[in-house]
Chain A
Amino acid sequence: MPKRGVISALLTAIGVVLLINFKTPSQQGFAAFNRQTVTGTTNTDGTASAGGTPPPTATVPPTAAATPTTKTITGPAISYFFGTAQVQVTLENGKITDVTAVQLPNEGQSAWISQQVAPILRSEVLSAQSAQINLISGATYTSAAYRQSLQAALDQARA
């Protein structure tokens, strides 16, 4: 076989291996995609860390014996046009330290929404936590189901 053929076969093989190893954020799992732990106030920039936690169930009793000051609350799974969104809020000592997506539509056409919308909302949320509030009265946004779920989780966020 001419050298040209060997070289192109080799390059093709390398190319295919690279393509197969390219993973979209949703393929990497939610842990990598959205998990950032922030202590303190507002900034959400940071590198994603690997490792995932199993998605929690909808009802989470904060067990007083084990971790008295860490609470993890899951918002409801909200269905909207592109799929289902569900948000999880982590609190330490009543302060929101993390907001993650338990479920975001990541199949097909809604993946881009998840990638686009989630990070923006996240930073907004973490900046609103100064007032030590138990719950919020007001109309809920329906433009993003993420927001609804988050709203609900946030309602009970500060104790």
Chain B
Amino acid sequence: MTLATGLLRVEQIMGTAITIDLRDDGVPVAALDEAFASLVRADARYSTYRPDSEVSRLGRGEMVLADCSLELRQVLTLAEQLRVDSDGHFDVRHRADGALDPSGLVKGWAVEEAAWILDQAGARNYAINAGGDIVLRGEPEPGQPWRVGIRHPLLAEAVAHVLELRTGAVATSGTYERGEHISRPRAGDGSRDWLSLTVVGPSLAYADAYATAGFAMGHPGLAWVNRHDGYRAYGMIGNASGVRWIEGSN
């Protein structure tokens, strides 16, 4: 049995690069394998870019909800809860063609699943970064927290802010991804918009969804996220001449 000693592995899944940085001694490499395998399975199930995924097939009407996996049904139930909670700012059916796109929720869900696999294998100190959505546990070095840089929304490769965390999830939504992937289910006038919104909390699935909804809401979104127990939002506003980091009160 090969033990993982301070392993770092990166794989391309779900259209993005997913990194697992494992800082523990004594965790079997097989756990890493299995963690990645679970992500691949999630990709197959939820990806809207794969015509054969469960989500695509459901969206095309080739499957009914009752035939879908338990997991997908759970995701969709959660999605409905969040839709109501966010007054419609988070809606997995908001694509222009009405197609089902739960990817904002799904990635977080899948990464948490992978983190759980590592937990079961005895890992206590690791970081999973799925294209900017992060699950953290423990410490990178004894006595030091994970330092998470929040990418500058306008300057390539620059870091606007650094958060220090131990165990938790970090998700950031912004318009500086390819195109505007945050399509707004509800129109806003854009004047009180965020450049990016980062949410920290215990679950990546919720952090992801809250970041998406909070971003779409504009300025009120920050307070809305902070109303949820255990979750905090940080936003960035500004333009090319300057960017400000906003933290909520309480």
A contacts B directly in the complex (CB < 8 Å)?
A: yes
- Shortest CB distance B3–A (Å): 9
A149 within 8 A of partner (CB):
yes
Question: Does the CB pair A138–B132 fall under 8 Å?
Answer: yes
Interface string of A137-159 (1 = CB under 8 A from B): 11111110000110111011011
Could you list some 5 contacts between A and B, CB below 8 A? A58-B11, A137-B172, A138-B174, A142-B15, A143-B178
Question: Does the CB pair B6–A140 fall under 8 Å?
Answer: no
Supposing A136-B159, A139-B131, A140-B131 touch, asked if A156 and B19 sit within 8 A by C-beta, the answer is yes
Question: Does the CB pair A134–B140 fall under 8 Å?
Answer: yes
- Among residues of A, the one whose C-beta sits closest to the C-beta of B182 is A139
Residues on B facing A (Cβ under 8 Å): 4-12, 15-19, 21, 29, 32, 127, 129, 131-134, 140-141, 146-151, 153, 156-159, 162-163, 170-174, 176-178, 181, 196, 198
Question: Does the CB pair B178–A142 fall under 8 Å?
Answer: yes
Question: Does the CB pair A137–B132 fall under 8 Å?
Answer: yes
Question: Does the CB pair B10–A76 fall under 8 Å?
Answer: yes
Question: Does the CB pair B132–A149 fall under 8 Å?
Answer: no
Q: Interface-forming stretch among A10-18, A20-28, A108-116, A125-133?
A: A125-133
Q: Pick the contact of B17: A62, A63, A76 (CB < 8 A).
A: A76
Q: Pick the contact of A148: B17, B150, B162 (CB < 8 A).
A: B17
Question: Does the CB pair A139–B172 fall under 8 Å?
Answer: yes
Supposing A59-B7, A75-B10, A75-B17 touch, asked if A135 and B162 sit within 8 A by C-beta, the answer is no
